[in-house]
Structures are given as structure tokens and as C-alpha cells.
């Protein structure tokens, strides 16, 4: 006797096969959410050619780093990537209790997870967050943050 798969299972299988390249770029589940930008503090700007990156985080992260304490869970860092003065994409780091367990040990960056977002703030699965993790891993002594020094020196006026 032959069993025919339910139509919903066939549709799901076809959708997964069609999305394989996107899924491979982002194999792990993401827990990263897009924060309310108006609740973040802009603390530095980096310029390289036609690229301008405005970096913001939470007030609680700034205070913790300035006191030499760990960055608290729930912290967001947002890098707003502008090209020729127009928003190109967002890079968001978020920290959550136990989130490092979502990744094999050699790829962990503490409890930080990373996600790229499109200008409309929708998740961008075309960007490879594994690259982000490998670069940030080199900053382990600074809680995986490239801008830890700028954060510790921040006193209320964005560093330009």
C-alpha cells in the first residue's frame, strides 16, 4: 500500500529546498531582535571611504563597561551602515543568558548573537553571520566588542 504525503509536507519540503542557500548562510536559529533605536545611545562613528558606521548601544551597557562590569544580558549594539549617506543595512549584536549554547564551542562568542537587517529592519538572511562571529571572537578579552575602549571613554558626547 502506498502512502501519499500530505500536501502541506510537500509544500514545506519544496520551500526548504528552494531556501537552502539562504539557510546555509544562517544555519543556527537567531534570537536577535531589532531594538528601538531611539532608546539607544550613539557613542561612536567610524568612516571609511563612502561607508559611515554609526554605532549605538544601551545606557546600561555603557554604565557597565565604564564600571568594569560585564555587559548585561538583553544588551543590543547596533551598527547602522550608511553608504553614500543612505542607510545600507544594520548589524545588530544582542546578548542573552545561555545563547552561546546555540553554537558549537569553537564558534561561540560568549552569549552574543549577531544578525544583519535590511534598511526596512527586516532580517537579512543573505548576510553570513558566521563571519561576524569569527572576527568578534578575537575580542574575547573585551567581551567580544571591538569598541570597548571607546565605550569606556564615552562621556555623553559621540566620538567622531
57 and 80 in contact (C-beta within 8 Å)? no
CA distances from 90 to 25, 58, 131 (A): 17, 16, 15
Grid coordinates given for 141: 578579552
CATH number for 119: 3.50.70.20
Domain that holds residue 109: 28-153
Q: Is residue 139 part of a domain?
A: yes
Q: Is residue 7 part of a domain?
A: no
**Starting at the edge strand that comes first in sequence, how are the strands of the sheet with 86-95 ordered?**
41-48, 51-57, 76-83, 86-95, 112-117
- Does pTM surpass 0.75? no
State pLDDT tens for residues 25-84: 445 567 889 999 999 999 899 998 999 999 999 999 999 888 888 889 999 999 999 999
Count: domains in the chain: 1
Q: Is residue 66 part of a domain?
A: yes
Q: Is residue 149 part of a domain?
A: yes
Q: Is residue 61 part of a domain?
A: yes
State pLDDT tens for residues 127-157: 766 666 656 665 666 766 767 777 777 777 5
Amino acid at each position: 500500500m502506498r502512502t501519499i504525503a500530505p500536501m502541506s509536507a510537500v509544500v514545506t519540503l519544496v520551500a526548504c529546498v528552494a531556501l537552502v542557500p539562504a539557510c546555509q548562510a544562517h544555519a543556527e536559529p537567531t534570537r536577535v531582535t531589532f531594538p528601538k533605536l531611539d532608546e539607544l545611545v550613539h557613542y561612536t562613528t567610524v568612516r571609511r571611504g563612502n561607508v559611515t558606521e554609526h554605532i549605538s548601544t544601551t545606557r546600561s551597557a555603557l554604565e557597565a563597561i565604564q564600571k568594569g562590569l560585564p555587559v548585561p544580558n538583553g544588551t543590543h549594539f547596533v551598527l547602522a551602515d550608511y553608504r553614500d549617506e543612505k542607510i545600507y543595512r544594520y548589524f545588530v549584536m544582542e546578548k542573552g543568558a545561555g545563547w552561546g549554547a546555540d553554537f558549537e564551542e569553537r564558534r561561540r562568542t560568549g552569549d552574543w548573537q549577531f544578525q544583519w537587517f535590511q534598511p526596512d529592519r527586516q532580517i537579512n538572511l543573505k548576510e553570513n553571520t558566521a563571519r561576524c562571529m569569527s572576527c568578534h571572537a578575537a575580542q574575547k578579552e573585551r567581551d567580544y566588542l571591538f569598541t570597548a575602549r571607546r565605550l569606556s571613554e564615552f562621556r555623553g558626547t559621540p566620538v567622531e
